Amino acid sequence: MQRFEKTLAMLAPVTALLVSAGAHGVIVLQNNETVNLGALMSTGSDRMFIIDDKLFTFQYVTTPNFNIQQFDVTAKISENVNEYGLRDVGFDLTGPFVDGGPNDQTVQDMNLQYKVEILPEFYARGVRLRDAFLAFNGSAGGTGSFARVAETIFETDTGDLLGNMNVFYNFGPPATIRLADEIDFTAQNPLGYRSLECNKNLKFFANTDGGFSSCSFVRQQFSQIPAPGAFALLGIAGVVAGRRRRA
């Protein structure tokens, strides 16, 4: 899987564009462009945005602890193509993920349910989802403190469970740390998928008075393969890669 450059870099937000005027409309994000999470989830919003050849729908965000107006969604398109001439597409969820009340025995959490699907034009040309990648820059300090993100992925069309990803920084002791995880779907289905339903759960807990738990970004990324016989339709990188605006 191609990896985005500068995984830990935080990029300045820029203005998103709208496909249609008014409160309703699908937002179109170019590479590194940003939409505010609160605005995306506001009343009247379609809660949908396009990044390259993918349509994302944020079905709901629930959190008893965080103000979603303080978080942004930033489009990510890999600079390099994979062996099939296709780029990885995804987004960063950025903002102040932090447990601001150490030793209050309260876990600060957020849950995001969303769907990713290949736009019909590109699905017809043979583009298929082949894997998912999750990363974050979480950190924690103090006995029993942790920062964690767990993700469960289903196939949209059948509802079948495809797998789970987990990233974490558990202070321990002993400390256990995993900052990136991925699922390769081709072992289950070499032909890939049209659409995925994803549930992402984020938890942050500072267990002691001097402890901490924080994160500034969570990265979501999907790579893709051509369906059998699709090379001619894709132009072996010409069709998809040709429409990119490089970072």
pLDDT given at position 173 = 94
pLDDT given at position 79 = 94
Distances (CA, A) of 225 to 15, 72, 120, 185, 188: 31, 29, 15, 11, 14
pTM: 0.84
Averaged over 126-153, what is the pLDDT?
97
Write the DSSP string, 48-77. EEEETTEEEEEEEEE-SS--GGG-EEEEEE
Averaged over 203-216, what is the pLDDT?
94
**Of all residues in the chain, what percent carry a pLDDT higher than 70?**
83
CATH topology of domain 60-242: Jelly Rolls (2.60.120)
Mean pLDDT (the chain) is 86
Q: Where are the domains of the chain?
A: 60-242
* Helix (H/G/I), strand (E/B), else coil: 23: coil
Instruction: Identify which of 150, 144, 149, 166 has the alpha carbon closest to the alpha carbon of residue 212.
Output: 144
Instruction: Identify which of 122, 131, 128 has the alpha carbon closest to the alpha carbon of residue 241.
Output: 122
Mean pLDDT is lowest, of 15-19, 165-169, 182-186, for: 15-19
For residue 192, which amino acid is it? G
- CA geometry: angle 185, 85, 73, nearest 5 deg: 65
Mean pLDDT is lowest, of 102-106, 172-176, 192-196, for: 102-106
Query: pLDDT at residue 13 above 80?
Result: no
Residues 6+ apart with CB under 8 A from 174: none
pLDDT in tens, 45-76: 999 999 999 999 999 999 998 999 999 999 99
Q: Is the peptide bond before 173 cis (omega within 30 degrees of 0)?
A: yes
